Amino acid sequence: MGIYLDHAATSPIRPEIKNLIAELYDTELGNPSSRHSYASKAKKVLDDAREEIASILNVNYANVVFTSGGTESDNLAIYGTIRSNLLEATKQKFSTIIISEIEHRAVLNSADEIGKIFQVPVKKIPVDSNGVVLLSALDEILDESAGGISKCNLVSVMASNNEIGSIQPIKEIYTLVKSANKNSIFHSDAVQGVGWLDPTDIVGNSDMVSMSAHKLGGPVGVGVLIIKDDIKIMPQIIGGGQQRQRRSGTNDVISAAAMAMALKLNSKKDHNYFHELKRSFLIDLKTSVAGVTETVPEEFSVDGMCHITVDGVNGEELLFLLDESGVAASAGSACSSGSIAPSHVLMAIGAAEFGKAFIRLSFGWSTSEDDLSQAVLILKKCIEKLRQ
């Protein structure tokens, strides 16, 4: 068996969720929108899932919109709100889209694209060398983007970064955004953050939040967008008007149930365990191998992610040898061709440098202490081989 340290890419499905899915496929579920007993059963599964998620996140069940995953949630949040400019009876007239420069491509590219179409300027908040957004810079951008009484901003900042794990000061950002203009909307991509930070904290300090099941041991292909009561969005997927006109298409009730269970199991996670796991892994690794550092200091990043910089070796080569030795890790973000492109995140924090390897090791529900002590030995062996 290999050592899987790429939970931030996707986490293996948890046995409880696999069982639930199998059970539900054995249940005769109809289309929840139909009117017979099969439909009612399906409707109950869907409603239960929605209620469960709402209660975990401390929101109203109507705030939960199921999507096909994190990317769709981000797209719906950004396209959906900016396109609501077209609605007449709305206070939302956006003058600027403001995002951090280390957002996931789903946010970065959606913002750039919709900004172009609607001619809404997109401004990017810089981050410091720890990958944390500069609140003073956000403050300045908000000042510049005031844009008159009827105008507001759409701001999107992720809860924690998908590459380096840096934690963002969501509460402070939310306060700044709202105090600059109470009509402005704040969205947070919490696809990575929800597993490692308090989800109610993120949701409580946002107007919209994106989440995805497969980073939590659920199936790929389902996520949610939490949309607070007074936020108007235009749907991206038009059809039968399901999910209160916000996302059409027959509800995937089984995936919805799996999403709910993923969030529920996540809320029972022993955070101390992972905190200790990462801490001792880093100590172990740094004492065994010279020239290895955390790209972002421990206190600025989530417990589930360990992004390391390795001097004097090439990232692709290190990943190759790690894979051969049974360790699954990742480097930067993979581009569509499969080669490792220089990452916009590493560029933003000023870490991208030639002649160094950047490796992301990410943990999850199945990661054991034993996995990590073995991983240290393998990392040591591979790094030393490449340095010869």
Partner 1 sequence: MDIGTKKLKIAVGMSGGVDSSVAAALLQKQGHQVVGVTLKLWGGQSDSGCCSVGDVEDARFVAKKLGIDHHVWGFVDEFNSHVVDPYIKSHARNETPNPCIECNRHLKFDLMAQRALRLGFDAIATGHYARIMFDDKGRPILARSVDDKKDQSYVLSGISKDILAFCRFPLGDYNKSQVRMLAQEMNLLTADKPDSQDVCFILATGGRREFLSDKIRLNDATIVEDATDEVLGEIEGMELLTIGQRREIGISRYGQRQYVLSLNPIKKEVRIGPAERLLTNEIFFKEAHFLSESIEDNQLVYVQVSAHGKPIRSRYFNSGKIVFEKPQRKVAPGQIVAFYDDNNFSVVGSATVVDEPNLK
**Would you tell me which residues interact with partner 1 (CB under 8 A)?**
314, 316-317, 320-321, 324, 336-341, 354, 385-386, 388
Identify the active-site residue in 152, 306, 335, 382: 335
Q: With contact defined as beta carbons under 8 Å apart, do 206 and 170 qualify?
A: yes
Nearer to partner 1 by Cβ, of 171 and 385: the residue is 385
Minimal distance in Å, beta carbon 320 to partner 1? 6
> Of the two residues 318 and 375, which places its CB atom closer to partner 1 in the complex?
318
Cβ of residue 6: shortest distance to partner 1, in angstroms? 16
Q: Which is nearer to partner 1, 119 or 388 (CB)?
A: 388
With contact defined as beta carbons under 8 Å apart, do 218 and 13 qualify?
A: yes
Which residues neighbour 107 within 8 Å (Cβ) at sequence distance 6 or greater? 74, 78, 99, 156, 158, 189
62 residue type, one letter: A
For residues 124 and 114, the answer to whether their CB atoms sit within 8 Å is no
Cβ(20)–Cβ(30) under 8 Å?
A: no
Query: Is 335 in the active site?
Result: yes
- Do 383 and 310 touch, CB atoms closer than 8 A? yes
Indicate if the alpha-carbon torsion angle 290, 296, 302, 304 is positive or negative.
negative
CB of 20 to partner 1, least distance (A): 32
Q: What span, in angstroms and rounded, lies between the C-alpha atoms of 386 and 388?
A: 6
Helix (H, G, I), strand (E, B) or coil at 60: coil
Using a 10 angstrom Cβ sphere, with 0-12 exposed, 13-18 middle and 19 or more buried, the burial of residue 149 is exposed
Q: Name the minimum Å distance from CB 110 to partner 1.
A: 21
CB atoms closer than 10 angstroms to residue 379: 27
**Whose Cβ is closer to partner 1: residue 198's or residue 353's?**
353
Least Å distance between CB 9 and partner 1?
16
Judged by beta carbon, residue 5 or residue 331, the one nearer partner 1 is: 331
CB of 341 to partner 1, least distance (A): 7
Alpha carbon 145 to its chain centroid, in Å, reads 27
Element (H, E) at 210: strand 208-212
What is the smallest separation between the CB atom of 388 and partner 1, expressed in angstroms? 8
Output Rg (C-alpha) for the chain, integer angstroms: 21
Q: Could you tell me which of 106, 18, 32 has the C-alpha nearest to residue 69?
A: 106
DSSP β-ladder status, 356-362 and 305-311: antiparallel
CA 24, CA 381: separation in Å to the nearest integer? 46
User: Which segments of the chain does DSSP mark as H helices, in order?
Assistant: 15-25, 37-57, 70-83, 105-118, 135-144, 170-180, 199-204, 242-245, 253-267, 271-288, 315-324, 344-348, 369-387
Q: Which residue's CB is nearer to partner 1, number 290 or number 341?
A: 341
Q: Which residues are catalytic?
A: 335
